[in-house]
Amino acid sequence: MATTTFKDQAFQALSNVIDPELGVDLVDLGLIYDAQLTDEGVAEITMTLTIAGCPLTDWLAGAIHDELIKLPGVKEIEIEITFEPLWNEDMMSREAKMQLGLYR
């Protein structure tokens, strides 16, 4: 039986966080770059936003926290927002592109 990594668990949990403006989850949008769990129980999430100064940043952080805190071993969540690489539509899954009418 294959062992599920924390990153796999985190991405699965974060697929429950739906961007309220786009109606697509953060994973399918390609906004979540990485997820690691430290020995101290800190879930370190590296993500980006569709635009700098996104008005939903605080809401997203709360929703991310609410999903990840349920995972085994997670005691705290730290979110690093990066714009390297800069997000673009090519980072979205095929499903997200279809949902948003961008897939041809």
- CATH number of the domain encompassing residue 37: 3.30.300.130
At residue 55, the pLDDT reads 85
| pTM for the whole structure | 0.91
| Residue 1 forms part of a structural domain | no
At residue 104, the pLDDT reads 62
Range of the domain at 55: 7-99
Domain count of the fold of the chain: 1
| Residue 104 forms part of a structural domain | no
| Residue 2 forms part of a structural domain | no
Question: For 6-65, how does the pLDDT look when each residue is reduced to its tens digit (9 = 90+)?
Answer: 999 999 999 999 998 899 999 999 999 999 999 999 999 999 998 888 888 899 999 999
At residue 8, the pLDDT reads 97
| Residue 35 forms part of a structural domain | yes
Per-residue pLDDT band at 2 (split at 50, 70, 90):
low
**Token duo for residue 37:** 């769990």
